[in-house]
Amino acid sequence: MYTINELQSFISAEIDKEISRIGQAEPKNLYEPVGYALGMGGKRLRPVMALLSCNLFSNTVENAIPAALAIEVFHNFTLLHDDIMDKAEIRRNRLPVYKKYNENVAILSGDAMSIMAYNYLLRCESSDTAQMIRLFSQTALEVCEGQQLDMDFESRTDVSISEYMNMIRLKTAVLLACSLKLGALAAHAPAKTADLLYVFGLNLGIAFQLQDDLLDVFSDQGLLGKRIGGDIVSNKKTFLLLKALELSDTDTQKVIQDWLGKDRFDADEKIQAITGIYNNLNIKEITESFIGDFYQSALNVYEEIDLDREVKSVLLELAEVIMKRDH
């Protein structure tokens, strides 16, 4: 079996090949931004998951390459369009596509990437291809729904934790789950095992997003590579904020709502104030424990997966990589 590092190198080389192929494609103004977006890198977590999952059932991972590329291209398409919608200033230390080129370019190149993702998946010559495309397409629509809910929450003050959990399930977790299941289907895994891998990925994906919320506030700034407290400054309805609103008394709730309502404020002062409230309410520990619950759910599913322990243990390594990704 391949190690996670080996899979990362393997898929990075495949993606680089695609980037240079795309670099030759016409019209240039459509495809150059696609290559730029794909070239921004990142850990290639999702395509690695597809290959790794395939590798659980097959000595080779070649069959999962179409799915891995599809997922990576789709994921980067969502980042590309999200950056327009969020007016993001930076993406992985580089200019977002809509800033490097312009908004029209970003819209159309993103549209092309969404379609290209299907084209990659369609390279798969498996009897399970139709099922794989159905799963992928269903997941893709769910990701759009998650993004819409996230945007809806920006202007709402009454978001419940269960609504939030549904949002992160759709926006983040289903694509990780889909990555694992697609890899399994590419290797003709038994349906039950493929489904368990989906649920494993779903729980891990939720833990992953909650961890992201936590790291925004409680992390070493240098290691995270972005400003601490960005979510606090932008009033993002994270698990931490929603939990703090739930647990605090009326006075503290009012303090939080006052901060949320301010148009002009000193960012550091706001971060300090909200973080202070989080500390008083033990939000860090509560969130860590909640993350632990989903991590444990993933482990419970792991136990059910009908594969030799020495084979499937790579899933535990994957879980470690996902949860320790940024610090």
Using CB under 8 A, which of the segments 10-18, 77-85, 171-179, 216-224 binds a second copy?
A: 77-85
Q: How far is the CB of 85 from a second copy (least distance, A)?
A: 4
Considering CB under 8 A, how many residues would be counted as binding a second copy? 34
Residues 260-319 interacting with a second copy (rule: CB under 8 A): none
φ, ψ at 307 (rounded to 5°): -145, 155
Q: Determine if 133 is a binding residue for a second copy (CB under 8 A).
A: yes
Of residues 110 and 183, the one with the C-beta less far from a second copy = 110
Q: Is 81 in the site for a second copy (CB under 8 A)?
A: yes
Q: Which two tokens stand for residue 242?
A: 């929603």
15 to 54: interface string for a second copy, x by CB under 8 A: -----------xx-xx------------------------
The yes or no reply on residue 159 touching a second copy (CB under 8 A) is no
Distances, alpha carbon 48 to alpha carbons 141, 200, 234, 267, 289, in Å = 22, 15, 32, 37, 27
| Distance in Å, CB of 222 to a second copy, minimum | 32
Structure tokens at 27: 């019209």
Residue 209 CB neighbour total at 10 angstroms:
24
Residue span binding a second copy (CB under 8 A) among the ranges 60-68, 135-143, 295-303, 316-324: 135-143
- For residue 196, the minimal CB distance to a second copy (Å) is 24
Among 3, 5, 20, 137, binds a second copy (CB under 8 A): 137
Q: CB within 8 A of 278, min separation 6: which ones?
A: 217, 240, 244, 284
The two three-digit tokens of residue 22, written as one number: 């795309």
Where does this chain touch a second copy (CB under 8 A) — which range of 15-23, 89-97, 101-109, 185-193? 101-109
Taking CA 256 as the corner, what is the angle to CA 323 and CA 260, rounded to the nearest 5 degrees?
A: 85
The residues of the shown chain that bind a second copy, judged by CB under 8 A, are 26-27, 29-30, 81, 84-85, 104, 107-108, 110-112, 114-116, 118-119, 122, 129-130, 133-134, 137-138, 140-141, 144-145, 147-149, 151-152
